[in-house]
């Protein structure tokens, strides 16, 4: 109760190729508070994940979406943030930025499976209708058959 949840994701098509970052912030009831995407310079996947997380922690702290649980599907990044793994040189500045902003407010980090970060479009429609208390109807189309 009283916590916000922020899901982040970074992606790269390959090593030093087109990359992007996205996030969404939800309140304790699951209502969407804010979402955004960002195109990044050509970079690696772990760098895109780190930039996505750093940007979103900064956003949550500066816009008072606190306390917040930051969920990422990158277990490697989570192990780096928690100082379990050593920091690769190419994301050292982003990790410092993540630590700086996470110390400014009540921030927790959590791992989520990749499947938990994505919803099929049909499921998104149903969830959105449910949130607005709009009734949903199921229907089935029967094809006419020739009589036997």
Please answer whether residues 4 and 70 qualify as being in contact, where contact means their C-beta atoms are separated by less than 8 angstroms: no
Q: Which of 112, 121, 107, 95 is nearest to 8 (CA)?
A: 112
Task: Give this prediction's pTM.
Answer: 0.74
Helix axis angle for 92-102 and 45-62, nearest 10°, is 20
Estimate to the nearest angstrom the gap between the alpha carbon of 60 and the chain centroid. Answer: 13
The radius of gyration of the chain's CA atoms, rounded to the nearest angstrom, is 19
Q: What is the pLDDT of residues 31-50, one digit of tens each?
A: 889 888 888 988 999 999 99
Q: What is the pLDDT of residue 130?
A: 55
Q: What is the pLDDT of residue 117?
A: 56
Class of domain 4-131: alpha beta
Estimate to the nearest angstrom the gap between the alpha carbon of 143 and the chain centroid. Answer: 42
Q: What is the pLDDT of residues 94-148, one digit of tens each?
A: 999 999 999 999 999 999 886 555 544 655 565 565 556 555 455 455 566 666 6
Question: Mean pLDDT over residues 12-30, rounded?
Answer: 87
| pLDDT band for position 12 (cuts 50, 70, 90) | confident
Q: What is the pLDDT of residue 5?
A: 93
Q: What is the pLDDT of residues 105-117, one digit of tens each?
A: 999 999 988 655 5
Cα(128)–Cα(148) distance, integer angstroms: 44
């Amino acid at each position: 109760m009283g916590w916000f949840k922020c899901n982040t994701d970074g992606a790269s098509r390959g090593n030093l190729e087109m990359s992007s970052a996205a996030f969404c912030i939800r309140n304790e009831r699951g209502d969407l508070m804010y979402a955004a995407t960002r195109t990044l310079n050509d970079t690696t996947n772990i760098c895109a994940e780190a930039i996505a997380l750093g940007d979103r922690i900064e956003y949550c702290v500066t816009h008072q979406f606190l306390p917040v649980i930051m969920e990422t599907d990158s277990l490697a990044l989570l192990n780096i943030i928690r100082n379990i793994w050593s920091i690769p040189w190419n994301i050292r500045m982003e990790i410092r930025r993540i630590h700086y902003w996470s110390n400014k407010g009540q921030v927790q980090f959590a791992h989520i499976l990749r499947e938990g970060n994505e919803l099929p479009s049909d499921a998104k429609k149903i969830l959105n209708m449910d949130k607005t208390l709009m009734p949903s109807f199921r229907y089935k189309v029967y094809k006419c058959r020739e009589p036997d």
